[in-house]
């Protein structure tokens, strides 16, 4: 089960996002937040598999909250779901945000989350499996 933290200062948006995410098999909402500071605190406490974050929130905007989360929990992917998509897209990557989704295209949120989770599950060819022996050179003996 993938655990997702959602953050938005509007209760109606939180309800809508919660409903969309919980309708997807294998996903659950582990918490929600209405301020940027609360989002950072919830991320540290709950250690979700992904954070869905609004930009315009009280106490700390979504870009600053994302940057703080990335310092404390660099492995957690962040998707920004905002009305200010065009204004924040350029800054998003610099703050550790993988995707920016326009609230007007709410169906794109689920697709973005699916893509982020799919990308995370791809094996990294640079990493050896934890219990595998170190690589050795294989020499071929050729008969002349």
Range list of β-strands (E), the chain: 2-7, 27-33, 50-53, 78-82, 99-102
- Provide the pLDDT confidence category of residue 120 given band limits of 50, 70 and 90: confident
Q: Return the sign of the alpha-carbon dihedral for residues 82, 86, 87, 93.
A: positive
Residue 139 has pLDDT above 50, yes or no: no
User: How far, in Å, CA of 83 to CA of 77, rounded?
Assistant: 20
Please tell me the CATH code under which domain 2-121 is placed.
3.40.50.2300
**Is 9 within 8 Å of 1 (Cβ atoms)?**
no
pLDDT digits (tens, 9 = 90+) for 74-107: 999 999 999 998 889 888 989 999 999 999 998 8
Q: What is the domain partition of the chain in residue ranges?
A: 2-121
Phi, psi of 81 (to 5 degrees): -120, 105
What is the pTM for the complete model shown? Answer: 0.82
Quote the pLDDT of residue 123: 59
pLDDT digits (tens, 9 = 90+) for 26-45: 999 999 999 999 999 999 99
């Amino acid at each position: 089960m993938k655990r997702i933290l959602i953050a938005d200062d509007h209760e109606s948006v939180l309800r809508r996002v919660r409903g969309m995410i919980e309708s997807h098999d294998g996903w659950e909402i582990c918490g929600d937040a209405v301020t940027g500071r609360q989002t950072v605190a919830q991320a540290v406490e709950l250690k979700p598999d992904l954070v869905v974050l609004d930009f315009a929130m009280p106490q700390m905007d979504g870009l600053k909250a994302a940057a703080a989360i990335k310092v404390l929990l660099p492995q957690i992917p962040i998707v920004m779901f905002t009305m200010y998509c065009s204004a924040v897209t350029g800054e998003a990557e610099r703050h550790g945000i993988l995707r920016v989704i326009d609230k007007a295209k709410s169906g794109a949120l689920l697709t973005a989350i699916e893509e982020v989770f799919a990308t995370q599950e791809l094996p990294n060819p640079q990493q050896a499996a934890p219990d595998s022996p170190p690589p050795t050179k294989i020499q071929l003996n050729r008969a002349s």
